[in-house]
Amino acid sequence: MSRLDQHSAFGFLIFYPIYVVWTGNWIMDELAAFLIMFFSMCPDLDIFYGGIIDKGLRNLDETFQHHYFSFIHYPLLYVPLIGLFLLCLILDFFPLYFLIPLVGVYGGHFLPDTISCGDGIMWGKNPFKKDSYARFINVFCKGTDGYHGLYWDARYRQSFLGKIGNVVVVISVILLQVFQIYVSIESFPDTGISIIYVSLMIYLLISLIMAREEFEHKYLEEPPAGRYQDYRIDPQYIQGLNEKNRKRHLKKYRELLEENNIEIKEL
């Protein structure tokens, strides 16, 4: 999912009740608010080194598929964060703040991507084995599965999660505004403007406004060259699955593979 603002907002709203229960304070502090929004979009930062640096900003198109090739989009890479959090919890060393990366990466990023993204997420992918792959998990994939770039974006905007995501962004802005008002009241007669709260609100609002721009309806059509890097018929991906998942994949997409004259031998 390329909507960074929605990733940030999902993570923020998931973490907020945890913060309230943990601290007993309904005003999330500035550092926590910044960190949860940052870590929620963190896996998509691969677009800078994997996309813009390699291709150039103007050439970044629907051929960029980071869920397939980028190791920072493999959830197992972040498992050590669980151990780090537990250690900090035992030592009572700011455990709440070490929980933030976990909630952000898994709750704010991989969960929404699993629900409705171009392909989904390979939850079982070993980030250190290049030619080994896992099943793509995408719960509601009918409208977005196999599409990337602007072809995905046009479809995602019309999806249920895309519309819910916009609401989540608005709710996040409202909460940040409430936090800002509280800070202003507490610091009266001083100004009491939080640069972090205001910056986060501006980031979310600008992203939301940009996402509301009309897209070219040609992107609702099939891509001229077909779906780029369609894992369903990609021999490299299929050969990299374990025996159980490969058999399941071949059975599920047998007709599609035959239509594209792709023959994969079963183990």
Q: What share of the chain is helix, strand, coil (3-state, %, to 5)?
A: 65, 0, 35
What is the pLDDT at residue 24?
Answer: 96
CA distances in angstroms from 179 to 102, 150, 166, 184, 201, listed in the order given: 23, 35, 20, 9, 11
Taking the complete model, does pTM exceed 0.85, yes or no?
Answer: yes
Number of domains in the chain: 2
What is the pLDDT at residue 83?
Answer: 97
Task: Mark whether 136 and 235 lie in a shared domain.
Answer: no
Residue written as tokens 């103007």? 58
Which residues in 238-262 are b (16+ Cβ under 10 Å) and which e?
bebbeeeebeebeeebeeebeeeee
Task: Mark whether 133 and 254 lie in a shared domain.
Answer: no
Q: What is the mean pLDDT of residues 233-252?
A: 91
Higher pLDDT, 194 or 263: 194
Higher pLDDT, 237 or 52: 237
pLDDT above 70: residue 51: no
Rounded to a whole number of angstroms, the distance between the first and last alpha carbons of the chain is: 33
- CA 234 to chain CA centroid, Å, is 23
Tell me the pLDDT of the chain averaged across its residues: 86
Range of the domain at 20: 4-227
Task: Mark whether 109 and 129 lie in a shared domain.
Answer: yes
d(CA 250, CA 227): 19
Task: Mark whether 159 and 262 lie in a shared domain.
Answer: no
pLDDT-based confidence at residue 64 (cuts at 50, 70, 90):
low
Question: Position 191: which residue type?
Answer: T
